[in-house]
Chains A and B, each alone.
Chain A
């Protein structure tokens, strides 16, 4: 059957039979780079149009409908517009840091693609500490935000960056602890091991209450970590214009925007991998026929389906809840989520030791 890993193997075999090993490696690296850039750009365009369409749907309006069939090319037009805009640097700004910040945001977003299993046996780097890698690299994001806010020499930017810093570091804790609940049950930090451990059922189904609590905490925490509403204090439009990227315009703004959407995709992909089984198809006990039909659907479709479902949920949050105040936001994390997730990890450990999961 057709799959990504077959294509990758085929290309590898063809290249190694045609060129010597050094050139094979170089050509494979170039192909991987081009593919990742393509995926990056395509996902950015899709997520922007998805966000606008979902918000329009929730607010009972049409949304973008002029460019292309049903407005589907709107984000392409927006990209063109941003491309011809001037990327200004304010005269009071720290120019080096100001221009460096979007690059760091992009590098972080791109690096997070490495351990994600997009389909069966299709992963850029199957490292044995995949989960730790993701939580470590994703916390570099806050540096680029602080850098952008500080170097802009704008009061709104600085305030947005400080808020964002406090928020991201706080919610990182409960996101990490809820990930650990699954790691305890699996006994491995490698993404592929975690996916394989869900062959007989996704953790959300076979993990009972601790995993369900962990999943809910994870969703709340990553919504806050990616600075999305109702936790979008860092760029609260009505208070801070645009928060840390007030002074950014043109392509530099677009890069921040893209990195932000990529982070949403990454955290949803991680959530789908840890709790919803990654590329594992949905199986029910001994319904042979049903399981067979589910196996027939390609693994990449499963992965992207689950990821886009989680992205949809996060977009749904945005149009349902009003924005929190900074003290409410920090109270929610430190007084509720953190103690609950600390207790939850004990519960998960007890369950793993007693073998109470299916």
Chain B
């Protein structure tokens, strides 16, 4: 079907979820009370703000991920032609991965991969 299938799929997804939610809106009998809108934290009233600062570890991993994800993007076009290029492809990728691996080891030594 070609690229038009993406439009079909997006419309299908939105229609499916939209219709399902609409039907449930029509079928249900809603009641209201004061406690209903409170966050569910196992019955205990919530304390303080929710949108706070989180452990820095998550962001450190996100940063390292960014480096390796860009690496992965570079590897895709290489992987397609690797077989036809032959040895030169292997030599190049060994150099590329070696440099990256040094960065990885540096991050490891600095303790970026340790969960705090």
Q: How far is the CA of A73 from the CA of B12 in the complex (A)?
A: 25
Name the residue of chain B whose CB is nearest to the CB of A350.
B90
Q: How far is the CA of A150 from the CA of B50 in the complex (A)?
A: 9
The 8 Å CB contact of B13, one of A106, A184, A187, A188, is A106
Given A87-B25, A125-B5, also A102-B17 (CB < 8 A): yes
Q: Give the secondary structure class of B's interface.
A: helix
The 8 Å CB contact of A250, one of B9, B11, B24, B58, is B24
Given A32-B1, A154-B50, A349-B93, also A166-B62 (CB < 8 A): yes
| Segment 211-268 of A: residues with Cβ below 8 Å from B | 241, 246-247, 250-252, 254-255
Residues of A close to B82: CB separation below 8 A: 184, 187, 349, 352-353
Residues of B close to A88: CB separation below 8 A: 36-37
Name the residue of chain A whose CB is nearest to the CB of B94.
A346
User: What is the CB-to-nearest-CB distance from A86 to chain B, in angstroms, rounded to a whole number?
Assistant: 5
Contact mask for chain B residues 87-113; partner A; CB cutoff 8 A; 1 contact, 0 none:
101100110010011001000100001
Given A90-B39, A246-B40, A338-B68, also A114-B50 (CB < 8 A): no
Say whether A292 faces chain B, with CB atoms less than 8 Å apart.
Answer: no
User: What is the CB-to-nearest-CB distance from B14 to chain A, in angstroms, rounded to a whole number?
Assistant: 6
Given A125-B3, A169-B62, A169-B65, also A91-B24 (CB < 8 A): no
- Could you tell me if A91 and B3 are in contact, using CB atoms closer than 8 angstroms? no
Q: How far is the CA of A103 from the CA of B19 in the complex (A)?
A: 11
Q: How far is the CA of A20 from the CA of B108 in the complex (A)?
A: 63
Contact mask for chain B residues 64-87; partner A; CB cutoff 8 A; 1 contact, 0 none:
110011001001100111111011
Name the residue of chain B whose CB is nearest to the CB of A108.
B13
| Segment 111-156 of A: residues with Cβ below 8 Å from B | 111, 113-114, 124-125, 127, 132, 150, 152-156
Q: How far is the CA of A87 from the CA of B78 in the complex (A)?
A: 48
Given A85-B28, A346-B94, also A107-B80 (CB < 8 A): no
How many chain A residues touch B (CB < 8 A): the figure is 80
Say whether A200 faces chain B, with CB atoms less than 8 Å apart.
Answer: no
Residues of A close to B89: CB separation below 8 A: 349, 353
Name the residue of chain A whose CB is nearest to the CB of B7.
A29
The 8 Å CB contact of B20, one of A124, A255, A334, A345, is A255
Q: How far is the CA of A196 from the CA of B95 in the complex (A)?
A: 32
- Chain B interface: which size bin? 35 or more
Residues of B close to A184: CB separation below 8 A: 79, 82-83
Residues of A close to B75: CB separation below 8 A: 176-177, 180, 345
Q: How far is the CA of A188 from the CA of B83 in the complex (A)?
A: 10
Name the residue of chain A whose CB is nearest to the CB of B48.
A155
Task: Give B contacts to A, CB under 8 Å.
Answer: 1-18, 20-21, 23-25, 27-28, 30, 36-42, 46, 50-51, 54-55, 57-58, 61-62, 64-65, 68-69, 72, 75-76, 79-84, 86-87, 89-90, 93-94, 97, 100-101, 104, 108, 113-115
Closest 5 CB pairs of A and B: A91-B37, A327-B115, A110-B13, A33-B12, A154-B39
Task: Give A contacts to B, CB under 8 Å.
Answer: 25, 28-29, 32-34, 36-37, 40-41, 82-92, 102-103, 106-107, 109-111, 113-114, 124-125, 127, 132, 150, 152-156, 158, 162, 165-166, 169-170, 172-173, 176-177, 180, 183-185, 187-189, 241, 246-247, 250-252, 254-255, 326-327, 330-331, 334-335, 338-339, 342, 345-346, 349-350, 352-353
For the complex with contacts A92-B37, A154-B41, 19 further pairs of A-B residues with Cβ separation under 8 Å are A34-B12, A37-B12, A84-B28, A87-B25, A90-B38, A107-B14, A111-B13, A114-B5, A124-B1, A152-B39, A162-B58, A169-B61, A169-B62, A172-B69, A183-B80, A189-B76, A330-B115, A334-B64, A349-B89
In the complex, 16 of the A-B residue pairs with CB atoms within 8 angstroms, ordered by the A residue number, are A85-B28, A86-B28, A103-B13, A106-B14, A106-B16, A110-B10, A125-B2, A132-B76, A173-B72, A177-B72, A185-B83, A189-B80, A250-B28, A251-B23, A255-B21, A353-B83
